[in-house]
Amino acid sequence: MLRPNDTQGKLIIVEGIDGSGKSTQIDLLFKWLQSQGRSVYFSEWNSSELVKSTTKAAKKAKTFTPTTFSVLACTDFADRWENSIYPLLKAGVIVLADRYAYTAFARDVARGVDPAWVRSMYSFAIKPDAALFFRVPLEVAVGRILGARAELKYYEAGMDIGFSDNIVESFKIFQGKILDEYNKMVDEFGLTVIDGTQSVQAQQKIVRSIVKKVLKGWEGLPNPDKKDIGVQNLNITKHDAGKGKGDKK
């Protein structure tokens, strides 16, 4: 469903349920690649300014349905895709994405939309050069989220679907369904599974070795200042890599 990479750039993405530790890993990867003198750009799920006002209003009014939720998430992705990710890949930049189309395939299907429909909706995007799926048992991920955060949000917990009246219970059921979808996609899309229960350092070592393989013999856009020059030249707003605030939902 996703096109092959037809650009000079490299696309590396991380996936996993909430609390899988993927944002920590991609942040470390981002800094490491920068220190290597690479032109790197970071893009985060649900971060388009254009879609933000709409998403915010709809969340507040609780007017989202699984379909509108899905289409708006794709709108956000498309805006980032057309205005930053794709042009930068063409320029030969390494693009790192915290969540990619697979997030939609897992989450929107868990919310009840048609799997083939949502896959086709994202078919304008390319297949990443590396898709890293941080897999942790449900209890571990849920424990991390509930331990670190005061409150679960309505949509994040899948409350609109009616899994349970209890928000914590609903969150667990919803995340479990998302995890099932991820597991199904490992073979379908050739995701690279990383055991997210290992130490941060041990995981990062694996991540870097995978990325080294992807970049072997590849030049890309040079970065003399060790800053993301490509980003500035294309006049595209720079995003900061995961600041540990958790996912934007």
Partner 1 sequence: MKEPIFYGAGFPYRKFEGLSGKLIVLEGTDGVGRSTQVKLLRRWLEEEGYAVSDTGLRRSVLTQAGLDEAKKGHTLSPITMSLFYAADFADRLENQIIPALQAGFVVLSDRYFYSTMARDTLRGCRPEWVRNLYGIALKPDLVLYMKADVKELAKRLIQGRGLNYWEAGMDLHLSNNLYDSFVKYQSCVIEEFDKLAQEYNFVTVDANQPPDRIFEDLKEHIKMLLYNRQPKTKRPK
| CA–CA distance, 139 with 141 (Å, rounded to integer) | 6
Minimum CB separation from partner 1 for residue 34, in Å? Answer: 28
Q: Around Cβ 166, how many Cβ atoms within 10 Å?
A: 12
Is residue 150 exposed (0-12), middle (13-18) or buried (19+ Cβ within 10 Å)?
exposed
CB of 88 to partner 1, least distance (A): 14
Residues 6+ apart with CB under 8 A from 249: 46, 153, 155, 156
3-state secondary structure of 14: strand
Where do we find the tokens 């219970």?
169
CB of 77 to partner 1, least distance (A): 9
DSSP state of 222: B
Minimal distance in Å, beta carbon 127 to partner 1? 16
Nearer to partner 1, 62 or 205 (CB): 62
Tokens coding 60: 């507040």
Find tokens 């609903």 and name the residue.
170
79 vs 61: CA distance, rounded Å: 24
Rank residues 123 and 166 by Cβ distance to partner 1 and give the closer one.
123
Nearest distance from C-beta of residue 44 to partner 1, angstroms:
17
Angle at 77 between CA 227 and CA 23, to 5 degrees: 55
Give the shortest CB-139-to-partner 1 separation in angstroms: 27
The residue (of 68 and 166) whose beta carbon lies closer to partner 1 is 68
3 or 149: whose CB is closer to partner 1? Answer: 3
* 165 contacts 124 by C-beta, under 8 angstroms: no
Contact 15, 192 (CB under 8 A): no
Q: What angle do CA 5, 25, 29 make, to 5 degrees?
A: 60
Nearer to partner 1, 121 or 179 (CB): 121
Closest CB to partner 1 among residues 65, 233? 65
Residue number, 19 or 158, with CB nearest to partner 1: 158
User: Residue numbers of the site for partner 1 (CB under 8 A)?
Assistant: 50-51, 53-54, 57-58, 61, 63, 65-68, 71-72, 74-75, 78-79, 81-83, 111-114, 116-117, 120-121, 123-124, 161
CB of residue 40 vs partner 1: minimum separation in angstroms? 23
